[in-house]
Amino acid sequence: MDTEQPILVKNQPIKPLFQLFDWLYKYGTLVTIGLLITIFTWANPAFIEGENLINILRSISIVTIIAIGVTISLAINGFDLSVGSTASLANAVAISMFVWYSQNLVVAIFAVLAAALVIGALNSLFIIKFKIPDMLATLAMMFIIQGVALTYTKGATVTQNMVMPDGTFATGTISPIFEKMGQVPWIIIVMFVVVLLVHVFLTYTKHGRFMYMIGGNQEAARLSGIAVNKYKTMAYLLSAICAAIGGMVLSARVMTAEINAGAPYLMDAVAATFIGFAVFGAGKPNAIGTFIGAVLIGVLQNGLVMVSVPYYAMDIVKGAVLAFALGLTYYKKR
C-alpha cells in the first residue's frame, strides 16, 4: 500500500512578499520621488507649478553632471572622490581666463579641459602604476587639487572688476556666450546632453560594455583580452572631464570663482550615483539612474525650502529620506 504523504510547501506567503520587495528594488526611488512631490504639493501648492519644476531641474544640473563623472568611475569598480575639487579648479580656471587674461571662449574651455585631463591622468597614474586603491588615490588628489586651486587664486574670489595684486582693476569680461550656459534653458540642455551621451556610451558601445565587464570582474576581463589599464585610464579621464564641465556650468551660473565652490557638490553627486544603481533594477552605475537620483535630491532640497524647514534641520530630514530611498532600492531577496 502506498503510504507516501503529499509534500507540504511551507512559507508560501513569503513569495508575494519577495515580489513586493523586488518591485520596490526597481522602482523604490521613483516611489520616493512621487511621495515627496505629493507631500510638498499638499504643504505648498506652488511646488508643482511649472516655474518651480524648472527651478528644480536648474538646481540639479551641476550635481548631475558631476555625478555622471562618478558614475563612469564606478562602472570600472573605481571611485573618484576628486570630482568636487576638479569642479572648483575648473571654476577658477574658467573665470580667470576671462577676467585675468582677457581670453576668448575657446581658449577658456581648452584651458579647463586641459587641466581636467591632467587630473584624470594623475589619478590613473596613482591607481594603475603605483597600485594605490582608487578611493585613497582620489582622496589624495582631492586635497592636492584644492591646494592648487587656492594657490592659483591666492585664496581670493575671482570676479569681474576685481582688484589685482598690483592695485589695478581686472579689465577682462566674461563671454556672453559662456554666460548663457548657466541660464535656463541652456544649463538644463547641457545636463541632458551629458546624461544622454554617457548613457549611450556605457549602454550601447563596446567601450562602455568593456568598462562594465572590468567593474564586474577585472581579472576575467583581462583574460578575455580587454586592455584593463587603458579603460581604467579612460574612465578617470572622462570622470575629470565631466567634473570640469560641471565646474564650467557653475562658473557660468554664478559668474565668479569662489574658494572651493565645487566641494559641496561631492556628497550630493555620490548620493545621486548610488541611489541610481537600483533604478529600474539596473543593479549597476548608470547615467539614467544617476539623473533620477539627482532629481530625488533636488525635489527634497527644494521642497524643504518651500515648506520652511529650518536650515539646521534640513540635513536631518535630507539624510533620513535618502536613507529611506536607499533602503527601498537596495533591499534584495535572500
Nearest-angstrom CA–CA distance, 303 and 298:
8
Quote the pLDDT of residue 47.
96
Number of Cβ atoms within 10 Å of the Cβ of 325 = 26
Helix 186-204 and helix 50-75, axial crossing angle in degrees, nearest 10: 30
Quote the pLDDT of residue 14.
57
Quote the pLDDT of residue 15.
64
Half-sphere exposure of 266 (CA within 13 A, CB side): 20
Domain range annotation of the chain: 48-263
Average pLDDT over residues 296-317: 89
Nearest-angstrom CA–CA distance, 308 and 297:
17
Q: What is the pLDDT of residues 107-152, one digit of tens each?
A: 999 999 999 999 999 999 999 999 999 999 999 999 999 999 999 9
The position carrying cell 572688476 is 161
pLDDT at 252 over 90: yes
Average pLDDT over residues 216-220: 94
Quote the pLDDT of residue 264.
92
Structure confidence at residue 166 as a pLDDT band (50, 70, 90) = confident
Structure confidence at residue 27 as a pLDDT band (50, 70, 90) = confident
| Higher pLDDT among residues 1 and 49, named by residue | 49
Cα 138 → chain centroid: 15
Q: Cell digits for 137?
A: 588615490
Average pLDDT over residues 45-65: 96
Structure confidence at residue 317 as a pLDDT band (50, 70, 90) = confident
Residues 6+ apart with CB under 8 A from 56: 295, 298, 299, 302
Half-sphere exposure of 309 (CA within 13 A, CB side): 16
Q: What is the pLDDT of residues 225-250, one digit of tens each?
A: 999 999 999 999 999 999 999 999 99
The rounded percent of the chain whose pLDDT value lies above 70 is 93
Quote the pLDDT of residue 312.
82
Quote the pLDDT of residue 333.
42
Quote the pLDDT of residue 192.
98
Beta bridge partners of 257: 158
Quote the pLDDT of residue 178.
96
Quote the pLDDT of residue 334.
45
Quote the pLDDT of residue 3.
52
Q: Mean pLDDT of all residues in the chain?
A: 91
**8-state DSSP, 257:** B
Structure confidence at residue 223 as a pLDDT band (50, 70, 90) = very high
Q: What is the pLDDT of residues 58-110, one digit of tens each?
A: 999 999 999 999 999 999 999 999 999 999 999 999 999 999 999 999 999 99
